[in-house]
Chain A
Amino acid sequence: MRYRLGVDIGGTFTDIALLGADGSLHTKKVLSTPQDYSLAIESGVVALLAEAAVVPDAVKEFVHGSTVAANAIIERRGVKVALVTTLGFQDVLELGRFRSPRLYDLSFRKPPPLVERRLRFEITERILADGTVQEPVSFSDLASVADAIAREGVASIAVCFINAHVNAAHERAAVEFLANRLPRVVVCSSSEFMPQIQEYERTSTTVVNAYVRPVVERYLTALGERMRRIGIRPPIMVMQSSGGIVPSDLASTHPALIIDSGPAAGVVGAQRLGAYFAWGDLLVLDMGGTTAKATIIEDGAFAISNETELGGHASMGQRLMQGDGYVVQVPTIDIAEVGAGGGSLAVADQAGGLRVGPRSAGASPGPVCYARGGTTPTVTDANLILGYLNPSALVDGELTLDSRTASESISRLATSIGMSPIEMAYGIHAIADSTMIQALKAVTSERGRDPAQYTLVAIGGNGPVHAAGLADALRIDRIVVPPVAGVFSALGMLFADVEHQAVAAFHRRLEDATLEELCTAHQPLLNHARELLEEEGYTLQEQQDFRLFVDARYVGQTATLKIPIPLPVNGVRAATIAERFHEAHLATFGYRSGEPIQLTAIKLQARGVAAHPRVPSAIATSRSPRSDRGTRAAYFGSEHGWLDVPVTRRPGIAQDPAPGPLIIEEYETTIVVPPGWTVRRDAWTNLVIERPQPTLGERP
């Protein structure tokens, strides 16, 4: 039987999922090995294959989500990089955008540039905004820059010129020259990426890529060797921030594409499941130890943003308050993130105020109940006191908990502001919910959507503990907790398709744009994407899926909307594009206008259509033996108080809805079904938690 292997590495844990063609599913959670992440993967995979009694040769596909690129930047473990810029713009990288993410904080410092000033070189050349050459490339400047770079022992060069997103000729000439002169140095340019307007963001992206490329290359090579050694032969496919997968050689040269790899995998998994089961529009909540992330999936698609900021702190005002991370301008699944996780700390101030997060106990010391030295109560401690978590152990007994000290820490906090301990525990849980609601609203009501219309998909170690409370607050009627929800990213990435994204500048008014221009602009993107797909074995026409979009906005606006253009483009009419744009603007921003429309870029998405279905028709998990675990007391607010709640495992849930309260314990997470909700298990072992609709005549 064919097997697929998904591996998701995070800073603390490496999650592995093994999926058989018949839907048999095995998972494993092992500690990550940050000195060489491929080490934990090797030992984890060997152990999992042994547990599942599967021979390595049966693994026909290997998909990988990885924080290696992101960590190399956050921990400043990249290589020595030189930057080559247009004369007059040496400091673009260090000047940045002057955005202050923390108002009123006199001590705030933005992260230092990844290339120091003396390694930022200027050359004479200039292209204007319309693409015309004002000043040709000075090769004598380039020659002296090459000499200086050679003396410095630089490992990697980034080239970014002003207006290269419109005309890449000068960057190409410079790359060719430098690569010839310095054959052992890696050279990247901004235009070989997904060149978009805004020099700082493009420069930052190119520099980030140059900075981590050798690190990622080394890592993926090592991983490939380890996998071959243990007999796993399929090519390594890597998850991109955009939700598609690419072969590891492309990820090696373009590591900026895989920065948000892990979170993307969970969203893609939810999206594919949602489409398979026709759940309608989804709101995906992924709550882990430090942060919670929210994404919407509408009409089967998630939103893609043009950039992400790496190493910044998760903050609710992320879209308002950038500036404390490294900008990477590549298509990234649009995820709102807030500082609410199991480790979020609860603290009181001198005026009787209570805060939960964004400060987190992290992996060390962790929550008080982990008994690793933590003394400040966290959300996990509160969930324990409320009876939601198993009072003695998590992860099937692998992590024992100390309820007594957790309880004491919460009592202390409660006494300091005059509340009872149980009110305090419930309050911490509820405040964490109110923070997560901000993320859920950021992707819905902020964009003119009503969250009540969505199905909530709860994943991550803590998502299923909080899902029902969040759904109550947002009037959501249905929650789905997929199998292995706590390590869902490792499974979700197995459903992703091979995907390539390409962007070209197309800065003109819609009324001025001609069909010829559109043809000329998109053809190279199409040809290149087709070549890539063919190299990867998607040779037949029905295996190649292309989608074309334009980014459009009203003249003068900032945010663009992505408007689909039918392929082939021959029959496209400007009026149709305009109408689609006006409608999308009305849906998103609440009004349409008669103003001229500005196009800024064209985007191509190319997908390789797999020969085998990505989502199996059934799932059978190896863990979770059917064993009811009796009952325990859990607290559901002043309305319900303490209730005796049956505790069971996923197989203990039937296909017919059972009323809450119920607690379902799993290896990687705990699912809380409060009173007033029902839960059932479908054929795919998804838990579907619903609020029964009042029947006619019955008062809600």
Chain B
Amino acid sequence: MKCNPVTREILKNALIAIANNMLVAVIRTSRSTVVKNNFDLSAAVCDADGQLVAQGLALPPHLGAVMPALRGCLDYFGDRIGACDILCSNDPYSGGSHLNDLFMFLPIDLEGRRLAYLCLILHHTDMGGRVPGGNATDSTEIYQEGLRIPPSKIVEAGVANECLFRIFEANVRMSDRVLADIRSQIAALNAGGVEFLKLAETYPAEELRAYMADLIEYTERLSRSVIGALPKGVAEFTDWNDDDGTGHGPVRIHTRVEIRGDEILVDFTGTSPQTSGALNPNYWFTVSNVYAALRTLMPPDMPNNAGFYRPIRVSVPEGSFLNPRFPAPVGARGQPSFRVRSVVLGALAQILPDRIPACTGGSEFAIVLAGQTRRQERFLHLEFHNVTGHGGGPNEDGQDGGPYCLANLANVPVEVIEAENPVQVVRYAFIPDTGGPGRYRGALGIVREYRLLEVDAMIQVRSDRQRFPPWGLFGGKSGAAGTTAMNPGTANEQKLPSKFIRTMQMGDVFRVEMPGAGGFGDPLARLPEAVAEDVRQGKMSIAHAHAEYGVVIDPAGLSVLFDETARTRAARSPRSEQSSFSRKPLDGVRP
């Protein structure tokens, strides 16, 4: 049948609305902080062949996640799938992502034929395993990470799979919370199913089928035409992860990006081999993150579906850090996924220097505080604070506290943490002098301090960027590196690595300093007045203004001393305009 652009646009709106309805339903009922504040969930509609047709607003690293996980279920069950079943899986080796992400799929049948699948991915608070929250970086096999649910039916012929529920109940921490979230995931899918069938009352099944295919083809056409209009070129970029989560490292992440015709080729050959820790992203997660980075080149209102994937080719050597073999653990792969996105953007910056800013700030910080309150109730505080702010450039400073456009993520309110856990947040603020120097400054780093009240507890931290801070571009310098410490400024001060698990004692204060973002362009080319304004706002010290920008500030009036500034700047050799894109670790130990 012939499809017209009006009906296609109307159906696109309707399908995205169905996906968004499911997301809102889950967010409103979910108990999990990861869902409520980090929006670690995604909803989508796939056609009968499992091709992604429409995705709701949600987590960018889930951009390519739906199809492989659905494929895993379809391959296993074949034609043994009924309209009143709900399929589920969290198996990274059957198309899933990591164990906490439980995928569910509701088949939609019309007139006896499969029409579509509704999909809902939800990050659950706990899936069992050796460490609460599932974010341990030092696991060595996936068996340590918790329950692996291969493609299964959590609802069969309309009846909940009691056995599966009991297994969850017996194996996960905070099982009330997890089971409630599983129930709300199922309820949201069923509500989406009702909406989808309403749509089918207006549009005959054949028309819906045709338009779902048309929507994918249209998106492919649009993607190819956008890529075709970009400058052609090849560029490589390398970034590093401090370590692999078990104390070994650093881990090299290397990419080669080529814009060729109307396609983009991304190759990770040259990346370190897979490691023994739990930071390895699996193949599908790596690809998803490539999609997320490349999606920034596309029109904002373009639908996210299988058509967008088609002009993109990603090759990741098997057995490498970004495509590990079974039974590699993958639990904390969210952290290096930031490297995957940023190396692709770093390579693109060389081909498209007027479009891509320097590296986003932050150390991909995540913390778990778990224990029992004085009332003998379990508490588990899980919080992600991945980023700090925007990288500088290409045309303006990186905004301090600027949100990261590749995650719809919120920080957790201090007062909510304190109301629900025996924890006090002592400080949450910008750190002066931490933004990467550049003609356009990178955003400031951020400090957060936690004091444990009334009891001892377990603390687990996952972070990075203590050795390889967020990079600058075109002469801009890196942001300040991250640090972690227990009881800073006291006699008991203890510096900590980026990743650890240990006991925290009542009264201890844990401090994390998250890195600033990279700068863009030569710092000596920054307007002196912009430097003075940072000094007046307490975002930069007079010494830093002098050392990094060659700007001399009068301590009395905090204004620029222009003659001294000109002399200071003239005495310094200008930085090379070309960035070498080679990076040295801060501690000088060569990889």
Contact = CB atoms under 8 A, between A and B. Distances in A.
Given A100-B403, A106-B405, A199 B414 contact: yes
A105 B297 CA distance: 9
Contacts of B387: 98
Contact of B296 (A88, A106, A446): A106
A97 B410 contact: yes
A590 B187 contact: yes
Given A105-B296, A556-B32, A595-B176, A100 B409 contact: yes
A589 B187 contact: yes
Contacts of B428: 88-89, 91-92, 95
A437 B218 CA distance: 23
B411 A431 contact: no
A484 B110 CA distance: 45
Given A98-B403, A590-B191, A117 B31 contact: no
Interface string B338-362: 0000000000000000011100000
Most B CB within 10 A of own CB, among A106, A316, A423, A507: A106
A197 interface: yes
Interface string A589-613: 1110101000000000000000000
Interface stretch (B9-17, B73-81, B583-591): B9-17
A424 B4 CA distance: 10
A507 B413 CA distance: 15
Interface in B1-38: 4-6, 8-10, 13-14, 17, 20-21, 23-25, 27-32, 36
Contact of B356 (A94, A106, A442, A591): A106
Interface in B197-239: 202, 218-219, 221-222, 225
A129 B418 contact: yes
A116 interface: yes
B569 interface: no
Most B CB within 10 A of own CB, among A90, A323, A589, A591: A589
Contact of B419 (A108, A434, A446, A507): A507
Given A419-B5, A556-B32, A559-B28, A103 B410 contact: no
A200 B413 CA distance: 7
Contacts of B568: none
Interface string B63-99: 0000000000000000000000000000000000000
A352 B217 CA distance: 11
Contacts of B390: 109
A427 B3 CA distance: 13
Contacts of A163: 415, 418
Interface stretch (B329-337, B476-484, B496-504, B536-544): B536-544
Contact of B20 (A90, A102, A317, A354): A317
B183 interface: yes
A352 B416 contact: no
B195 A445 contact: yes
Most B CB within 10 A of own CB, among A99, A116, A162, A588: A99
A353 B405 CA distance: 25
Contacts of B419: 129, 197, 507
A349 B21 contact: no
Nearest to B220: A351
B311 interface: no
B218 A352 contact: yes
A118 interface: yes
B300 interface: yes
A1 to B, nearest CB: 49
A316 B190 CA distance: 22
Interface string A158-181: 000011010000000000000000
A129 B538 contact: no
Nearest to B194: A445
A100 B407 contact: yes
Contacts of A354: 5-6, 8-9
Contacts of B538: 117-118
Contacts of A423: 4, 6
B215 to A, nearest CB: 10
Contacts of B426: 88
A320 B413 contact: no
A50 interface: no
Contacts of B410: 97-99
Nearest to B423: A129
Contacts of A118: 536-538
A88 B430 CA distance: 10
A591 B424 CA distance: 34
Contacts of A446: 21, 24-25
A67 B225 CA distance: 43
A199 B411 contact: no
Nearest to A165: B415
Interface stretch (B268-276, B394-402, B515-523): B394-402
A91 B538 CA distance: 11
Given A103-B408, A419-B4, A445 B21 contact: yes
A104 B218 contact: no
A632 interface: no
Given A441-B17, A556-B177, A102 B8 contact: no
A348 B225 CA distance: 14
Given A92-B428, A98-B411, A417-B5, A349 B299 contact: yes
A198 B425 CA distance: 13
Given A91-B429, A162-B415, A556-B177, A108 B405 contact: yes
Contacts of A431: 6, 9-10, 13
B343 to A, nearest CB: 15
Given A197-B419, A446-B24, A591 B409 contact: no
Most B CB within 10 A of own CB, among A92, A100, A320: A100
B13 A438 contact: yes
B474 interface: no
Most B CB within 10 A of own CB, among A95, A433, A473: A95
Given A129-B419, A352-B218, A558-B36, A99 B409 contact: yes
Contacts of A60: none
Contacts of B418: 128-129, 162-163
Contact of B218 (A198, A351, A591): A351
Contacts of A128: 418, 424, 453
B255 interface: no
A55 interface: no
Interface in B255-297: 292, 295-296
A316 B21 CA distance: 11
Nearest to A89: B428
Contacts of A317: 20, 57
A319 B21 CA distance: 11
Contacts of A92: 414, 428
Given A351-B221, A445-B21, A554-B31, A89 B403 contact: no
B60 A103 contact: yes
B406 interface: yes
Interface in A81-128: 88-92, 94-100, 102-106, 108-110, 116-118, 128
B427 interface: yes
Contacts of B549: none
Contacts of A589: 25, 28-29, 184, 187
B446 interface: yes
Contacts of B399: 109-110
Nearest to A448: B191
B298 interface: yes
Interface in B158-192: 176-177, 180, 183-184, 187, 190-191
Most B CB within 10 A of own CB, among A118, A134, A424, A556: A556
Rank and list the top 9 A-B pairs by shortest CB-CB distance, nearest first.
A427-B6, A556-B31, A351-B222, A88-B427, A129-B418, A100-B403, A351-B221, A559-B28, A434-B10
12 contacts: A88-B426, A95-B446, A98-B404, A104-B405, A197-B413, A320-B27, A321-B57, A354-B5, A356-B9, A433-B10, A559-B28, A595-B176
Given A103-B295, A104-B405, 8 more contacts: A104-B292, A104-B406, A118-B538, A200-B413, A319-B24, A473-B202, A554-B180, A589-B28
